[in-house]
């Protein structure tokens, strides 16, 4: 299966990742080589009895449904790019230049 | 040189600082300061130093969060970020008497096998600066191999401690998945990630692992078992059956690596171990399986870096919030991270999920079953850790798939969540060779005991042929 430029741009949009025109051809080549490589799994016979692996302990422990304070030595105002009056500040939605 | 067991913590702190200075050319440390070392020494002197680690200096891979130094994951997107909390592993190590010495360089977000993908420059191999130390925990490995610290934390997702340990001639130890809390380990591949340990000796690595291990309410995937104990030394391997999986000894295996394994098998036989050939037929599919599951989990985990709550922010030209996301991520992530996010998003996207992700998780189940079957007849497995010794910097950077294949012998145990470790077993043309010991799930102590016995008779610094 071959991935083209449009498909890379589509996936980049899904991943909210800007991709410059200058790097697009190189990325197309590298992504195709990776996807071609992993396609060798098609050679593994998989009958219906083989179920997907489930990671982690068989039974995940559930905590009590209660709010507990996080042990933070500094608050969001110290780590956020912009934090005002208890809110994370971002530009408004919509500007028309980026298609989703 | 201080061993980390000295009681004069202030002296040790000064010596560690001097060794960081002396090793600066390796580019193995991202953050350390004499002031922080002195604070650690004072804390140890007030009482924590009486713990089982006795003041041992331990470096920490810079994808494990600490409140007293930045945590960058070697990425521009987290440049200058200082965590508001400490990882559980760090809290436990401090309480057990470790001196947290500094933060080590890595492949950006732990994605790589050579530590050439750091946004802050590649790490040099301590024995040959033209070569790589392995990765992604190459900074931690180089700091231990160069004698800056006796032990260091790394993280494993698909071999990122065992492979650099093999390249650098030290011990690299990955516990069973769930033995050590992942709370505070920056998430990469959540079904695979394990905080892991480098040491100069099996005992140093085992003691650090034991101090960190155990259930943690902050990580629901930790296994509800008591903390590990460091096995008492045993002088032999009588009664131990060790499997040699034929898929890990291909005809084109590097002759120096093969000679190192032959020497290890001879040593174990001398100690009384019995060897049998076994087969793990799906192991050859571990790397392609891994490079579907890992990017898929990475793409999901790294969605959080959007320039809003923490980390760096870049503003798009039109000021729109999505332009902010795209510019921040587009400029903040390096090439390998971008590739993995794109591959991961692709294999999870509409129409491809069953063909890639679901299939990979089913093949993973077969890999797990291979191990289960093999451990029905043997106690441990012994394999080469890597197909070659340390390769030259730049040799694989243009070809992602050839870089991925450096992990061909370490990825299977990661996919299965098994405890596995690399021990140094000699040198080939001056470069270290590592042997890998793999144990059944939760049999970490059995693996450690066997590795400790082998360590006593294998000449790790000698040429293998």
Minimum CA–CA partner of A27 in chain B: B339
CA–CA dist B367, B286 (Å, integer): 7
> At the top level of CATH, which class does the domain B9-212 belong to?
alpha beta
CB B464 within 8 A of CB B426: yes
A100 Cα distance to chain centroid: 15
Long-range contacts of B322-328 (CB under 8 A, 24+ apart): B322/A16, B322/A93, B322/A95, B322/A98, B322/A100, B323/A91, B323/A95, B323/A97, B323/A98, B324/A90, B324/A91, B325/A16, B326/A16, B326/A17, B326/A18, B326/A98, B327/A18, B328/B77
> Are residues B306 and A55, on separate chains, in Cβ contact within 8 Å?
no
CA count, 13 A, side-chain hemisphere, B16: 35
As given in the structure block, the two tokens for residue B133 are: 């130390």
Q: Find the residue in B nearest to A70 (Cα).
A: B85
Report whether pLDDT(B226) > 80. yes
pLDDT of residue A71: 80
The domain limits of chain B are 9-212
Check B291 against A38: CB less than 8 A apart. Answer: yes
CB contact under 8 A, A31 and B321: no
Is A34 a domain residue? yes
pLDDT digits 0-9 by tens, A51-60 = 999 876 666 7
- Does residue A100 have a pLDDT over 70? no
Residue-wise DSSP of B307-368: SSSSS-----TT--HHHHHHHHHHHHS-HHHHHHHHHHHHHHSTTTTIIIIIHHHHHHHHHH
pLDDT at residue A93, as a whole number = 78
Q: Is the dihedral of CA A21, A25, A27, A28 positive or negative?
A: positive
Does residue A61 sit within a domain?
no
Can you tell me the mean pLDDT for A63-90? 90
**Alpha carbon distance, N-terminus to C-terminus of chain B:** 31
User: Interior CA angle at B280 toward B277 and B282, to 5°?
Assistant: 155
Contacts 24+ apart (CB under 8 A), A22-30: A27/B338, A27/B339, A27/B342, A28/A3, A28/A4, A30/B339, A30/B400
* pLDDT beyond 80 at A46: yes
Rg (CA), chain B: 21
Q: A–B: how many Cβ contacts below 8 A?
A: 194
Residue B77: predicted pLDDT: 98
What value does the mean pLDDT of chain B take? 95
d(CA A14, CA B117): 24
Sheet harboring B241-245: ordered strands across?
B29-31, B99-104, B57-61, B151-156, B194-199, B171-174, B420-428, B431-438, B380-384, B241-245, B274-278
| Secondary structure (3-state) at B178 | coil
Task: Please give the Cα distance from B373 to B266 (Å, whole number).
Answer: 25
pLDDT above 60 (res B258): yes
Q: Measure in Å the smallest separation between the Cα of A50 and chain B Cα atoms.
A: 6
Nearest Cα residue in chain A from B337: A17
Structure tokens at A76: 């969001």
**pLDDT tens-digit map of B405-431:** 999 999 999 999 999 999 999 999 999
Domain with A31, as residue range(s), is: 5-43
Quickly count: other Cβ atoms within 10 Å of residue B80's Cβ. Answer: 10
* B286 and chain A in contact, CB less than 8 A: no
Q: pLDDT value at position A96?
A: 45
**CB contact (8 A) between residue B220 and residue A33:** no
With a cut of 70, say whether residue B245 has pLDDT above it.
yes
Q: What is the pLDDT of residues A11-35, one digit of tens each?
A: 999 999 999 999 999 999 999 999 9
B315 touches chain A (CB under 8 A): yes
Residue B315 has, within 13 A of its CA and on its CB side, a CA count of 10
CB contacts, 8 Å: A93 with chain B: 320-322
- A24 near B CB under 8 A: no
Q: What is the pLDDT of residue A55?
A: 73
Tell me if A11 is assigned to some domain.
yes
Nearest by Cα to B145 from B131, B166, B174 = B166
Residue A12 lies in a domain: yes
The Cα of B364 is separated from the nearest Cα of chain A by a number of Å equal to: 6
Mean pLDDT (chain A, rounded): 87
Nearest to B365 among A51, A70, A73 (CB): A51
Strands B29-31 and B99-104: what pairing? antiparallel
Q: What is the DSSP letter of B253?
A: S
SS3 B428: strand
**Whether pLDDT at B3 is above 50:** no
pLDDT at residue A98 tops 60: no
Contacts of B78 in chain A (CB under 8 A): none
- Confidence bin at B2 (pLDDT 50/70/90): very low
CA–CA distance, B2 with B15 (Å, rounded to integer): 7
**Residue A95 binned pLDDT confidence (cut-offs 50, 70, 90):** low
- pLDDT tens-place string over residues B297-328: 999 999 999 999 999 999 877 788 999 999 99
First to last CA, chain A: 25
Enumerate the residues of chain A whose CB falls inside 8 A of the CB of residue B72.
Answer: none
Determine, for residues A70 and B85 on separate chains, whether the beta-carbon distance falls below 8 Å: yes
Per DSSP, the residues of B369-400 read HHHHHHTTT-SEEEEESSSSSPPBTTSSTT-H
Q: How far apart are CA B332 and CA B314, in angstroms?
A: 8
Within a domain: A51: no
pLDDT given at position A1:
60
Q: Three-class SS of residue A13?
A: helix
- Residue of chain A with shortest Cα separation from B294: A38
* pLDDT of res. A2: 87
Q: How many domains does chain A have?
A: 1
Confirm whether A52 is domain-assigned.
no
Flag whether A14 is in a domain: yes
- Tell me: the pLDDT tens digits for B41-82? 999 999 999 999 999 999 999 999 999 999 999 999 999 999
Q: Which residue of B has its CA nearest to A28?
A: B339
The CATH number of the domain holding residue A33 is 1.10.20
What are the E-state strand segments in B126-262?
A: 151-156, 171-174, 194-199, 241-245
CB contact under 8 A, B224 and A16: no
B325 vs A1, residue with greater confidence: B325
Q: Is residue A50 part of a domain?
A: no
Q: What is the DSSP code (8-state) at residue B179? A: S
What's the complex ipTM? 0.91
**pLDDT band at residue A97 using 50, 70 and 90 as cut-offs:** very low
User: How close B456 comes to chain A (CA, Å)?
Assistant: 35
Query: Any chain A CB within 8 A of the CB of B289?
Result: yes
Residue B7 has pLDDT above 90, yes or no: no
- The residues of B that are catalytic are 61, 136, 160
Of B191, B310, B400, the CB nearest to A34: B400
Which residue in the block uniquely carries the two structure tokens 């497995």?
A: B381
Residues 6 or more apart whose Cβ sits within 8 Å of residue B154: B61, B104, B106, B136, B137, B140, B141, B160, B161, B164, B172, B195, B196, B197, B198
| Cβ burial B419-431 (10 Å sphere, 16+ → b, else e) | bbbbbbbbbbeeb
A interface test, pick of B330, B334, B335, B405 with most A CB neighbours within 10 Å: B330
Best residue in B322, B360, B414 for a mutation probing chain A (most A CBs within 10 Å): B322
Whether residues A76 and B313 touch (CB distance < 8 A) is answered with no
């Amino acid at each position: 299966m071959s991935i083209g430029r449009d498909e890379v741009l589509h996936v980049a949009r899904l991943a909210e990742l800007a991709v410059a025109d200058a790097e697009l051809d190189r990325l197309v080549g590298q992504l195709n080589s990776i996807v071609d490589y992993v396609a060798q799994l098609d050679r593994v016979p998989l009958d219906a009895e083989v179920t997907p692996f489930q990671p982690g302990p068989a039974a995940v422990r559930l905590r009590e449904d209660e709010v507990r304070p996080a042990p933070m030595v500094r608050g969001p105002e110290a780590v956020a790019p912009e934090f005002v009056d208890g809110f994370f500040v971002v530009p408004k939605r919509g500007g028309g230049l980026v298609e989703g | 040189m201080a061993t980390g067991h000295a009681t004069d913590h202030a002296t040790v702190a000064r010596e560690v600082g001097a060794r960081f200075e002396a090793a600066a050319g390796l580019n193995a440390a991202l953050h350390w300061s004499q002031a922080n070392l002195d604070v650690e020494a004072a804390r140890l002197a007030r009482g924590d130093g009486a713990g089982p680690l006795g003041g041992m200096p331990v470096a920490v891979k810079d994808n494990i969060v600490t409140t007293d130094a930045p945590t960058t994951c070697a990425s521009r997107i987290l440049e200058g970020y200082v965590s508001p909390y400490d990882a559980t592993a760090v809290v436990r190590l401090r309480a057990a008497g470790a001196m947290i010495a500094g933060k080590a360089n890595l492949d950006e977000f732990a994605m790589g096998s050579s530590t050439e993908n750091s946004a802050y420059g590649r790490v040099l191999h301590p024995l040959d600066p033209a070569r790589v130390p392995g990765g992604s925990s190459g900074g931690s490995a180089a700091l231990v191999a160069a004698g800056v610290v006796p032990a260091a934390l790394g993280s494993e997702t698909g071999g990122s401690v065992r492979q650099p340990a093999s390249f650098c001639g030290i011990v690299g130890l990955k516990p069973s998945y769930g033995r050590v809390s992942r709370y505070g380990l920056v998430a990469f591949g959540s079904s695979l990630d394990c905080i892991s340990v480098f040491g100069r000796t099996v005992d140093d690595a085992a003691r650090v692992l034991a101090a960190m291990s155990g259930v943690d309410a902050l990580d629901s995937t930790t296994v509800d078992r008591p903390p590990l104990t460091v096995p008492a030394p045993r002088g032999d391997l009588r009664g131990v059956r060790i499997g040699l999986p034929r898929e890990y000894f291909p005809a084109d295996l590097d002759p120096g690596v093969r000679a190192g394994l032959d020497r290890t098998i001879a040593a174990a036989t001398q100690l009384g171990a019995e060897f049998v050939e076994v087969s793990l037929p799906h192991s050859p599919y571990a790397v392609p399986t891994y490079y579907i599951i890992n990017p898929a989990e990475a793409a999901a985990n790294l969605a959080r870096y959007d320039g809003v709550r923490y980390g760096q922010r870049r503003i798009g030209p039109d000021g729109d919030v999505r332009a902010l996301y795209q510019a921040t991520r587009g400029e903040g992530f390096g090439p390998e991270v971008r590739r993995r996010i794109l591959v991961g998003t692709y294999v999870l996207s509409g129409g491809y999920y069953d063909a890639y992700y679901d299939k990979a998780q089913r093949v993973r189940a077969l890999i797990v079953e291979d191990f289960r079957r093999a451990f029905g007849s043997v106690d441990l497995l012994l394999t080469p850790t890597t197909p070659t010794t340390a390769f030259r910097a730049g040799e694989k950077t243009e070809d992602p798939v050839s870089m991925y294949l450096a992990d061909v012998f370490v990825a299977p145990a990661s996919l299965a969540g098994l405890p596995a470790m690399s021990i140094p077993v000699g040198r080939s043309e001056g470069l270290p060779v590592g042997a890998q010991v793999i144990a059944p799930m939760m049999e970490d102590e059995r693996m450690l005991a066997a590795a400790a016995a082998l360590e006593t008779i294998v000449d790790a610094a000698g040429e293998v042929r």
